[in-house]
Amino acid sequence: MSTILKPETAGGVLETIAWAAGEEKPLEVRGRGTKAGIGRPVQAEYTLDLSALTGVTLYEPDELVLSARAGTPLAEIEALLLENNQQLDFEPMDYGLIHGTETGGGTIGGVLAANLSGPRRLKAGAARDHILGVAAVSGRGEMFKSGGRVVKNVTGYDLSKGLAGSWGTLAAITDVTFKVLPRAETCAAMGSSCEISAAAHLPAEAAGRLPELASADGAVTALRLEGFGPSVAYRKEALKAVIAGAGSFDELDVGASESLWRAIRDAAPLAEGAAPLWRVSVAPTAGLDVLAALASLSVRHFYDWSGGLIWLAVDDGADDAGAELIRTAVAASGGGHATLVRGSPALRTAIPPFQPQEPALAALSKRLKDNFDPNGILNPGRMVAGG
Amino acid sequence: MSGLAMPAPNAAVLGRRAEIAAALRNIVPGEGVIDHPDGMRPFESDGLTAYRQMPLVVVLPENTDQVSRVLRYCHDNDIRVVPRGSGTSLSGGALPLADGVLLGLSKFNRVLEVDYQNRVAVVQPGVTNLNVTNTVQGNGFYYAPDPSSQIACSIGGNVAENAGGVHCLKYGLTANNVLGVEMVLITGEIIRLGGKHLDSEGYDLLGLMTGSEGLLGVVTEVTVRILQSPETARAVLVGFPTSEDAGQCVADIIGAGIIPGGMEMMDRPAIHAAEDYVHAGYPRDVEALLIVELDGPQGEVDDLLARVEKIAGDNNASTIRVSQDETERQLFWAGRKAAFPAVGRISPDYYCMDGTIPRKQLPRVLARTRELSEKYDLRVANVFHAGDGNLHPLILYDANIPGELERAEAFGADILKLCVEVGGVLTGEHGVGVEKRDLMPEMFNEDDLKQQQRVKCAFDEKHLLNPGKMFPVLHRCAELGRMHVHKGQLPFPDIPRF
C-alpha cells in the first residue's frame, strides 16, 4: 500500500518533491485518481495526492479567464462557469463513466495533464488550446511558472502546452489558468457547411444504447448546431437543404441534445462492462479504413470528430486486445494514435497503452523527461516502460 | 538593447570560413551557398532593422535531406545555425551571427497537398501565409491566422513565432491551427509531430515547437487546418469620446457572449495618421475608434450586428457605421491595416511594441503611456487588438538625432514592464528574439527560465540553434542538469499523511 502524501499548498508540493528527488523515492502523482486506470500501472512507495490544492483563485468573466489550484474539482468549476453562462469550450470528457468510478470527480489539473477534449474538438480544440498559464513543480523539486492570464502571449517557450498530456510525468501541476468562453445561447442536434460544432456517427448497436436516440431505427449520424438563436435557426434551414433526401432526420431539443452529446463525449455507448477500450485518433476520412482493417476482430465502435475519433471496444479477448492490428491499421491509414483507455492492469503492463513512437521521437521525449525529472520519480513508467 | 550583447564569436569557426562554405557546397550544390558579401547583404537583418550582422555564410537548401545534412555537419563541427523564413521578424529572431550559418528556407515554397475532406493543407515552410489562403479560397476555404505581414511572412516563420493577427480572437493563433510538422533536429534527425489527425499523444512537442523562435529545430513541412470561408462578413466602425468608453464597449460585447471575428482599437494619433494616409472615412473628432467585424452565416451576422450596435450606443458611441458592402468593409480595414506605414509617414522612424494586458487595464496603461510619452519627449500612437488585449504602441523617433533611438528603446521597455506589472506579458505575437531578451527576468524568475532552457537542452544540448535569442543568460546544459539534492527526513509536519 502506497503512503499518501497530501500537501495543502504549492509550497508543500515543492517540499514533498524536493524530498523525494533527494531520496530518489518514486511518487505516484494524482489528483482524485479518476484516470488512474489509464496508462501503465505505476508502482510507487508514495503517492503525491494533489486533491487538497483547491479553490478558484481568479475568475473574471469579462476577461474570459479563470485560474484555479490544480486539485479543484472540474465539476465545481463548471458549475461556477454555468452561473455566468460560460464554459470550458473544449468540452472535457469525463473518464469516470467508462471506468465505472465516480462521474464528475476529476480535477482541473487532471484536465490538463490528460489533455482532455470532447465532441467540440473539431471546432474548439482540446485543453492544450485553452490553457493560458501554469505553475508546477518539476521532478527536480523546482517550482516554476509559464504563460500568464492573457490569450496573446509568445513570451518564452509554452511550457503550459508542454505539460498538456504529460500525465504527471514531467512536473506536478499546482495551478492552472484557462481561457473560458460564453456558452451558446441555444443548440440543436440533427442528422456540411453549416458551422456544426460536433459530428458523430453511431452504428445501430451504439445508437440503441442511448435513450436520446430511442426514436431512431438503426444507425444515427448526429450533428450539432450551437450559437445564438437566430443563427441556429438560419443554419438549421441551410443544413436541411444540404441533407434533404439523405434519409429521415429528427431534431432534438436543447435538453436532449446536451444529454446526447454528453453521452457521446463520455463514450457512454461502450461504457458498460470491462472490455478493453481504445480511443483512436486518425484523419477524419481515415476512420472507415481503420475499421475495415479490423474485420478479424470482434469489436463494437462509434465515431466522433467527423470520423477522426474512433471509440473501439474489443470483445474477443485477443491477447493484446487487438493492439497490433489496430496500430497497424492506424499507421496504414496515414498515422495517428491508438490509446488503450480501459484495460486490466495486466493488459496495461503487457502492451503499451500509449502509441509507441518512432525511435528519434521517443529519444527526444525521453530527453525531455530526463531534463525535467532526472531521477525518474514522477509517475515512473506511466507513459512509457522505463520512462 | 542598443548595446546588444551576442554570444562571442568562435574564433576557430571564423577561421574555417572557406572550408565550411566548401563543405556546405558539397551538400547544397549550385547557387544554394552564398559567401560573397554582396550576396549575403540581404540577410544581414530582419524586420528589426536597427540591428545588422553579416552571417558567416548563407545556405539555402532545397529539400529535407539537405537540411538534415547541413544541420548534422554543423552539429558535428560545433557551428552555430540561425534559421530564417522570410525575414519579417519584428524582434530580431533571424538576426545572423558572425560565426553562424544562416539557414534560409525560401526554396521550400511549394504547397504539397490540399485535402479538403480532412480540411488541411500540407505546405513547405517557405510558403507565405497569404499564399495558403490564395491556394484554397477558390474552393471556399481560408487559413485563419493573418499576421499583418501575411503577404510576405512564411508559414515556417509563423510556426517559429506562433503568429497571430486580427482573427485570432475567434480562430486562435498559429498553435491552434497547425496539426503537424516535419522537422529536423540539430543532430540531423528528422522527426514528425502530429499529422492530419486532430489529437496528438505523447508530450506536446508541437506545442513547444510553436513559438520556439528557431531555437529547437528547423521545420521542413507544415500541416495546417483550413476553414470554410464565412458566408458573409461585415464590419462596424464605432467612435468614442474616451478610451474608457471604448474599453467598456469591448468588455460588454464579450460579456454578451459575442466573440467577433476581429475587434481592433486605435487611439486619436493613430486614427489621424491612418485617415490622412488612406482616407477610410474614420471620424477625426474621437479619442478611440473600434472596428468590430462579425463573420459567419448571414442570419447570425445580421443578428449580432444589431446587438453590437445596441451595446455601442449604450456606451456613449459618438459614431456608428456599419459596412454596407464588401468594398466598404475593406475600406474600414484599410486604415487599420495601414496604421504602421501611416505612422511611418509622420515620423522618420517608429518603434513598434507588442505587450499584452488584461483588457480592463487598458485605460490605466494608455494613461501611463501618455505620461511616459511626456517624460521621454517622444510621441506615441496606439493600435490595439482590443479583443485579446494585445497592445501595439508605436513610438515615434528620429534615428538621426543622437540619443533618440536609445530614448525610444527605454520608453518601450518601460511600457513592457508596465504590461507585466498589470498582469500582462512582454510580447503578444512578435516574439522575444533579441529585442525583449534582456527583459525576460521582468516576467520570469531564475527557476522559470531554467525550466525553459531545459526544454532547449532536450532539443539542442550544444546550444547551436539560434543562440543569443530569447534567453538573457544561456546556461550550459551540463550545469542545468546537475541535481541539487535535499537529503533528509520526510520533512512535513505541515503535510497531512493518510
Residue whose C-alpha cell is 516574439: B431
Query: How do residues A103-120 score in pLDDT, each as one tens digit?
Result: 888 999 999 999 999 999
Which position has the higher pLDDT, B340 or A325? A325
Looking at residue B57, its pLDDT comes to 98
- Whether B429 sits inside 8 A of A154 (CB atoms) is yes
Looking at the structure, do residues A149 and A25 belong to the same domain, yes or no?
yes
Q: Which residues does chain B have within 8 Å of residue A339's beta carbon, measured at their own beta carbons?
A: 201
Asked if the model's pLDDT at residue A175 lies above 60, the reply is yes
Which of B299, B436, B455 has the CB atom closest to A233's CB atom?
B299
CB B106 within 8 A of CB B86: yes
Residue A36 to residues A40, A205, B91, Cα–Cα distance (Å): 9, 29, 44
pLDDT digits (tens, 9 = 90+) for B310-333: 999 999 999 999 999 999 999 999
Nearest C-alpha neighbor of A299 from the set A285, A309, A286, A310: A310
Domain coordinates in residue numbering, chain B = 1-107+444-498, 111-228, 232-340, 347-421
- A157 with A195, same domain? no
Q: Which residues of B touch A182 (CB under 8 A)?
A: 254, 256-259
Domain boundary among A203, A230, A265: A265
Q: Give the pLDDT score at B491.
A: 55
Query: Last residue of some domain: A208, A236, A265?
Result: A265
The minimal CB distance from A154 to the residues B162, B169, B258 is found for B162
Helix (H, G, I), strand (E, B) or coil at B112: strand
Instruction: Indicate the Cα dihedral angle A222, A227, A230, A233, nearest 10°.
Output: 0
Distance CA A330, CA B196 (A): 12
Last residue of a domain, one of A218, A233, A265: A265
Architecture of domain B1-107+444-498: 2-Layer Sandwich (3.30)
DSSP-derived secondary structure letter, B425: B
Q: Which residue has the higher pLDDT, B344 or B469?
A: B469
Residues A8, A238: Cα–Cα separation, whole Å: 53
Residue B497 pLDDT greater than 70, yes or no: no
A209 with A104, same domain: the answer is: no
Does an H or E element contain B267, and which?
strand B262-267
* Alpha helix positions (H), B104-162: 129-136, 155-161
Query: Is A234–B444 a contact, with Cβ atoms under 8 angstroms apart?
Result: no
* Claim to verify: residue A163 and residue A201 sit in the same structural domain: no
Residues of B in contact with A360 (CB under 8 A): 185, 189-191
Distance CA A354, CA B201 (A): 8
Residue A23 sits in which domain range?
1-183+355-387
The mean pLDDT of B439-451, rounded to a whole number, is 95
Mean pLDDT over all residues of chain A?
A: 93
Contacts of B185 in chain A (CB under 8 A): 360, 364
Please report the residues numbered 67 through 126 in chain A whose beta carbons come closer than 8 angstroms to any beta carbon of chain B.
85, 115, 117, 121-122, 125-126
User: Across the interface, do A154 and B486 touch by the CB < 8 Å criterion?
Assistant: no
Residues A338, A235 share a domain: no
Q: What is the mean pLDDT of chain B?
A: 93
Which pLDDT belongs to residue A188? 65
Q: CA dist B377 to B373, B397, B399, Å?
A: 6, 10, 14
Whether residue A309 and residue B199 make contact (CB cut-off 8 A), yes or no, is yes
Q: Cα angle vertex A163, ends A168, A139, to 5°?
A: 50
pLDDT for the residue B483: 77
Query: Which of B196, B296, B496 shows the shortest C-beta gap to A283?
Result: B196
Are A226 and A184 contacting, i.e. CB atoms less than 8 angstroms apart?
yes
Report CB contact under 8 Å: A150, B424. Answer: yes
**Is A172 in the same domain as A196?**
no
Q: What is the pLDDT of residue B485?
A: 64
Residues B451, A142: C-beta atoms closer than 8 Å: yes
CA-CA-CA-CA dihedral for B330, B335, B340, B346, to nearest 10: 150
A77 and A21 together in one domain? yes
CB spacing of A159 vs B455 below 8 angstroms = yes
C-alpha distance from B475 to closest chain A C-alpha (Å): 13
Cβ within 8 Å, pair B428-A152: yes
Query: Which residue out of B112, B146, B204 would a mutagenesis test of the A interface target, given it has the greatest number of A Cβ atoms within 10 Å?
Result: B204
Is A150–B425 a contact, with Cβ atoms under 8 angstroms apart?
yes
Quote the pLDDT of residue A196: 82
DSSP designation for B420: H
Q: What is the pLDDT of residue B493?
A: 43
* Number of domain units in chain A: 3
Q: Are the Cβ atoms of A368 and B198 closer than 8 angstroms? A: no
Residue A129 contacts B where some CB pair is shorter than 8 Å: yes
Burial B271-291 (b: 16+ CB within 10 A, else e): bbbbbebbebebeeebbbbbb
Fold type of domain B232-340: Alpha-Beta Plaits (3.30.70)
User: In this predicted structure, what is the pLDDT of residue B489?
Assistant: 59
Q: Residue B161's pLDDT is what?
A: 97
Of A272, A279, A122, A146, nearest to A200 by C-alpha is A122
Task: For residue B305, give the 3-state DSSP assignment.
Answer: helix
User: How many CB atoms sit inside 10 A of residue B103's CB?
Assistant: 26
Do the domain assignments include residue A375? Answer: yes
Spatial separation of the C-alpha atoms in residues B91 and B214, rounded to whole Å: 12
- Assess whether A285 and A248 both reside in one domain: no
B303 CB-side CA count, 13 A: 18
Could you give the C-alpha distances from B460 to A148, A258, B478, in angstroms and in order? 26, 47, 12
Contact B491, A19 (CB under 8 A): yes
CB atoms within 10 A of CB B54: 16
Q: How far apart are CA A173 and CA A69, in angstroms?
A: 9
Q: Strand A86-87 vs strand A65-69: parallel, antiparallel, or unpaired? A: unpaired
When the candidates are 3.30.70.2740, 3.30.470.30, 3.40.630.30, 3.40.50.11540, the CATH number that belongs to B347-421 is: 3.30.70.2740
Task: Give B494's pLDDT tier (boundaries 50, 70, 90).
Answer: very low
User: Considering only alpha carbons, which residue of chain B is nearest residue A183?
Assistant: B257
Task: Please tell me the predicted confidence (pLDDT) of residue B498.
Answer: 46
This complex has an ipTM of 0.96
- What are the chain B neighbours of A368 within 8 Å (beta carbons)? 203, 205, 455, 458
- 54-73 in A: which are within 8 Å (CB) of B? 60-65
The enclosing domain of A325 has a CATH number of: 3.30.70
First to last CA, chain A: 22
Residue B490 has pLDDT above 80, yes or no: no
Locate A152 and state its grid cell: 496573446
- Residues A294-317: tens digit of each pLDDT: 999 999 999 999 999 999 999 986
Work out whether the CA dihedral B452, B458, B459, B463 comes out positive or negative.
positive
CA A118 from chain centre, in angstroms, equals 7
If pLDDT is split at 50, 70 and 90, which confidence band does A368 have? very high
Give A121-163 pLDDT, tens digit per residue: 999 999 999 999 999 999 999 999 999 999 899 999 999 999 9
CA gap A19, B498 in Å, rounded: 18
Spatial contact of B316 and B245, defined as CB atoms under 8 Å apart: yes
Distances (CA, A) of A179 to A31, A81, B258: 21, 11, 15
- The verdict on A6 and A121 lying in the same domain is yes
Looking at beta carbons, which residues of chain A come within 8 Å of B432? 154-156
Residue pair B382/B415 in contact (Cβ under 8 Å)? The answer is no
Contact A142 B173 (CB under 8 A): no
Instruction: Count CB pairs under 8 A between chains A and B.
Output: 310
Fold of B111-228: 3.30.465
Closest Cα of chain B to A167: distance in Å?
9
Cβ-defined contact of B197 to A336 (cutoff 8 Å): yes
DSSP string, B67-95: HHHHHHHHHHTT-EEEEESSS--SS-TT-
| Domains B232-340 and B347-421 alike in fold | yes
pLDDT score for A91: 97
Strand order from edge to edge, sheet including A46-49: A3-5, A46-49, A27-30
Residue B486: its pLDDT value, please?
60
Alpha carbon of B464 to those of B43, B138, B187, B469, B474: distances in Å?
19, 42, 10, 11, 11
Query: Does A147 lie in the same domain as A9?
Result: yes
Q: pLDDT tens digits for B251-289?
A: 899 989 899 999 999 999 999 999 999 999 999 999 999
**Dihedral through CA B59, CA B63, CA B67, CA B72, nearest 10?**
-120
Q: Say if residues B373 and B379 touch (Cβ distance below 8 Å).
A: yes
Q: Do B358 and A60 touch (CB under 8 A)?
A: yes
**pLDDT score for B495:** 53
Cβ distance B211 to A64 less than 8 Å, yes or no, reads no
d(CA A200, CA A210): 13
Strand-pair category, B100-104 with B80-84: parallel
| Its pTM surpasses 0.90 | yes
Task: Please report, for the domain that includes residue A24, its CATH number.
Answer: 3.30.465.10
Nearest CA in chain B to A366: B458
pLDDT (tens digit per residue) in A182-199:
998 776 655 445 678 899
Of residues B196, B211, B449, nearest to A158 (C-beta): B211
User: Could you tell me if A120 and A265 are in contact, meaning their C-beta atoms sit under 8 angstroms apart?
Assistant: no
Q: What is the pLDDT of residue B496?
A: 52
- pLDDT for A355 beyond 80: yes
Does A155 contact B480 at a Cβ distance shorter than 8 Å? no
